Amino acid sequence: MVGGIVAAVFLMLAVALVMGAGLVKLADTAMRDDAGYVTGTTTSWSSPGYALRTESVDLETGSASLDLPHRLLGTVRVTAEATTPDGVFVGVARTADVDTYLAGVAQSTVDDPFAEDGTAGTTYVDGGPLEVAPADADIWTESASGTGTRSITWEPEPGSWTLVVLTGDGTAPVGADVTIGAELPGLDTLAAVLLVSGLVLGGLAGIGLWLVLRTREEAPRAARA
Tens of pLDDT along the chain (225 residues) come to 555 565 566 566 656 656 655 555 565 565 667 777 878 789 999 999 999 999 998 887 554 444 455 556 788 999 999 999 999 999 999 999 999 999 999 999 998 877 767 888 999 999 999 999 999 999 999 999 999 899 999 998 889 999 999 999 999 999 999 999 887 775 566 555 555 666 665 666 666 566 656 666 555 554 555
Cβ proximity of 98 and 139 under 8 Å: yes
Q: Is the peptide bond before 158 cis (omega within 30 degrees of 0)?
A: no
The per-residue pLDDT for 65 is 40
What H or E segment, with its residue span, contains residue 46?
A: strand 43-47
Global pTM exceeds 0.85: no
Give SS3 for 110: strand
Nearest one of 198, 192, 76, 91 to 146, comparing CA atoms: 91
- DSSP lists the bridge partners of residue 78 as 152, 180
The per-residue pLDDT for 66 is 42
The per-residue pLDDT for 14 is 57
The per-residue pLDDT for 210 is 61
| pLDDT tens figures, 7-26 | 566 566 656 656 655 555 56
Cβ proximity of 40 and 178 under 8 Å: no
